[in-house]
Structure formats: C-alpha cells, structure tokens
Amino acid sequence: MIARIRGNSKIEGEITVGGAKNSALPILASLVLISEEVKIERIPDISDVAEMISMIRSAGVAVNFEKNIVLARPSNLRGEIKEFGSSIRASVLLLGPLAVRMGHSQLHYPGGCSIGKRPIDIHLEGLRQFGILVDEKTDMIEAVVDKIPKDVKIDLRFPSVGATEHLMMTSVLIDGVHTEIRNCAKEPEVVDLGNFLNSMGAQIYGVGTDRININGVKRLNASVHSIIGDRIETGTYMIGALSSGGMLKINGISDGVMHNITNELKKIGAKISTYENSLIVYPSDLRSFKLSTGPYPQFPTDLQPQMALLGCHTKEYFEITETVFENRFRHVDELKKMGANISVDGQKIKVMPFKLHGAKLVGNDLRETATILFAAAIADGTSEIEKFEIIFRGYEKLYEKMKAIGVNFEIIKIDREVS
C-alpha cells in the first residue's frame, strides 16, 4: 500500500486516543483463562487486535468484537493453534496459559515488528520454572505441563514486558501454588493486565513494582473492564504537534500513565497542560537534549523514532541512546532521504536541526512508519510512503484523526491480494 502525504501542515486541533494496543493484546490473550462471560471496553480497532482475536477464537474462545467492545465467553478450548502462523509477537502469550488449562499447548513462533533479535528465552525459561516442558521445533513451540512445584520463584534477567505478562497469566490458574516473579516490568499496560485479572478474582499482588506475587486460584469470574488509553499513540501525536509548532488537545488519556513522557518533554521546553483525562500541547521553543530509552519508568523505546523527528525541530541538537532494542534506527535512513542531518554511533543517534523536504519513503515498522508519516506532513512538498499498511497495526481511526489535525493523506495504491 502506498500513501501520498501533502506537506507543510501544522498539526493542530483535537483528537481522542484509543485504548492501549499493548494492554489490549495481553488482555485478549488472557481470555483463554476465563470461565464466565467478560466484557472489555475500549479495545482499539487495529489489525494486531484483529489477529489476536483470530488466534483466541481458534483456541476456542467465543468472541464478539463491535464498536471497540469485546464480549467473550469460554467455549471448547483447545491447546493447539496450528492453522496459521502469527505475525504478532504477543501471540507467544498464549503458550503458558493454554498449557496450564489444557495440559499441553502448541503454537507457531511469534512474529512482530523487526526491531532487533527479540528472542523469547525469558518467557521460556520462566515457563520451565513452573515445571512446564518446553520444546522448540523449527517453526513451532510446544509446552507440556509436567510436575508443578508448590512454590515457584522466577528471576527475570531483564524486565521484559511480554515475559512479565506471560508468566503472570500462566500462574493465576495454578490452584494452590504461590509464584513470585522478580525484576518485573512495571509498564502501565502490565498493571492494566493485572487489574483485569484481579477483577475476575485472580490473586495478584505487587503489580507495577519489580516483585509480583501470585496465589493461584481455581477459576476466574465474570467481569467488566475498560482498558487504559494508549500512551504511545498519545506521545506520537504530541511529538507531531511539537515538531510542527501546532496546538493540539488530546482526550482519553490520563496524566498518570503519561507523566514520565510529559516530564521529559517539559525538560526540553515543551509547554504541556495535563488534566485528569486529557492534555494540551502548545507551540514551544525546544532546547537541545539528551535522552535514553529504557524499561518503565524510563522513556519508552516505542517513542524513540518519533523523538528523532522532534530532534529536527530543536534549537541545536538532540541525542538519544536506545537501550531496549538493538536495531531500532531504520527511520534514520528514511528521515535522511528528507534531508535530515543525523549521525548514528552504535546505539546512539545525534540529530541536528533541519527543515525536512518531501521524499519517497518506505515504512519499516509500526512506530517508524508513524514517524515518517508525521515527518512527511510537516515537510516541504509531497511525500509517498510505501508499505504504509504497517501503520494500521497500531493506529486506530487514522483517517479520522489525521483529518481532525489537518494532515492531508490519501492511499494511492493498494497491493493486489495474493490468494
């Protein structure tokens, strides 16, 4: 799919962000654990969600998804999902929970955006601590429940978001077993998953800290849950507005999940007002800055590509060090096609201010494509972005929101489907 974007836009107006993709995916995966009907509100209508819903349906969960609401009830659960390979990395979250429920599970290796090696060793090492035998085949992974110890202790070698979620979901239905997970991820989306599971009667303590304790229970009850707003979608629009000197109001996001991001932006001169469920970004003079990504509460890696765009609009220079993924600078080549002055030194980039111009660009991953979409909207002249469809994996109601903030884009080519 190719999109054509008219440049010279000021990103301003008002939008409402959707529910967080990174909450929705693990929460949907956890539906293989339910015993009664649950309702989840604010599920974003994006292609990664569509794929996760197909997977849990294929595992036997009955799911209805309409107007951002998921209604799910248990049906004939099965542990093997062999029909299709998954292009989303979060699919691996099904392995442990299905194994616990069915005694055995089998899935294709997970996919996902190609940002570095992204191994799943922390997930699999954790599952082994539950006495689950894990067998990695060429393109499939198999998990078989063997002897589960009464007390499970897991030390994560890195606070992986996915592994923390996966192991938490795996432990909740191991009745009578106490699990302690150390060096956990503390991201708001991990907390959202914990809150959802607890709302169904799970006994999870300490979510949001680096030590989570879980007492396994027999079954989960009915529940209604609304997922948190998407802080990465919010941050992307904020950075777009700040880069273009526009004023933008963003609804549907609480200050609580944004403060580590707004604090960093304020440090470099961004004028931002935050309210209980919205925020406003004002035109700002941005100072030079140095920033490092890292596990929460450090600055999120998912906003690092967008910050490179912001760097083109600061006074002197911008330096960012990526510490979470080892291959997350491919947007640099795309921004360079637009004239950006960026140098890469290992895991660090330095961006000098520059007025970008339109170019022919390629979308590589979700956040990089969002970055070049905003870059193209602000640049002088017109741009085209190939492989634009990647953006629909994570940005909901894009046409509507782009229109609301004054960005003009059209799809000029849709690839013919290969049957």
Write out the H or E segment, with its range, that includes residue 369: helix 366-378
In the complex, minimum distance from the CB of residue 124 to ligand UD1, in angstroms, rounded to a whole number = 7
Write out the H or E segment, with its range, that includes residue 404: helix 398-404
* DSSP structural state of residue 110: P
* DSSP structural state of residue 91: G
The residue at minimum Cβ distance from ligand UD1 is: 162
In angstroms, the first-to-last Cα distance of the chain is 17
In the complex, minimum distance from the CB of residue 236 to ligand UD1, in angstroms, rounded to a whole number = 12
The CA–CA distances, whole Å, from 343 to 329, 347, 378, 411 equal 10, 11, 21, 32
Structure tokens at 34: 């339910």
Contact 213, 180 (CB under 8 A): yes
Largest CA distance in the chain: 64
In the complex, minimum distance from the CB of residue 294 to ligand UD1, in angstroms, rounded to a whole number = 9
Write out the H or E segment, with its range, that includes residue 182: strand 178-182
In the complex, minimum distance from the CB of residue 22 to ligand UD1, in angstroms, rounded to a whole number = 3
**Nearest-5° angle of CA 264, CA 233, CA 64?**
145
Reduce the DSSP state of residue 167 to 3 states and report it: helix
CA dihedral 185, 191, 192, 193 (to 10 degrees): 70
Give the footprint of ligand UD1 on this chain (CB under 6 A): 22, 25, 89-90, 116-123, 158, 160-163, 185, 189, 300-302, 324-325
Judged by beta carbon, residue 88 or residue 102, the one nearer ligand UD1 is 88
Length, in residues, of the chain: 419
Judged by beta carbon, residue 161 or residue 398, the one nearer ligand UD1 is 161
Query: Which positions are catalytic?
Result: 113
Judged by beta carbon, residue 225 or residue 313, the one nearer ligand UD1 is 225
Judged by beta carbon, residue 97 or residue 300, the one nearer ligand UD1 is 300
Judged by beta carbon, residue 161 or residue 248, the one nearer ligand UD1 is 161
C-alpha span between 162 and 325 (Å, rounded): 14
Judged by beta carbon, residue 120 or residue 356, the one nearer ligand UD1 is 120
C-alpha span between 404 and 12 (Å, rounded): 8
Where do we find the tokens 């912001």?
A: 310
Judged by beta carbon, residue 2 or residue 143, the one nearer ligand UD1 is 143
In the complex, minimum distance from the CB of residue 102 to ligand UD1, in angstroms, rounded to a whole number = 23
In the complex, minimum distance from the CB of residue 219 to ligand UD1, in angstroms, rounded to a whole number = 26
Write out the H or E segment, with its range, that includes residue 192: helix 188-199
**Nearest-5° angle of CA 332, CA 49, CA 280?**
60
Burial status of residue 194 (CB atoms within 10 A of its CB: 0-12, 13-18, 19 or more): buried
In the complex, minimum distance from the CB of residue 37 to ligand UD1, in angstroms, rounded to a whole number = 25
In the complex, minimum distance from the CB of residue 302 to ligand UD1, in angstroms, rounded to a whole number = 5
Residue 260 half-sphere exposure toward CB, CA atoms < 13 A: 18
> What sections of 245-351 are H helices per DSSP?
255-267, 304-311, 330-337
CA 169, distance to chain mean position in Å, is 18
Judged by beta carbon, residue 18 or residue 162, the one nearer ligand UD1 is 162
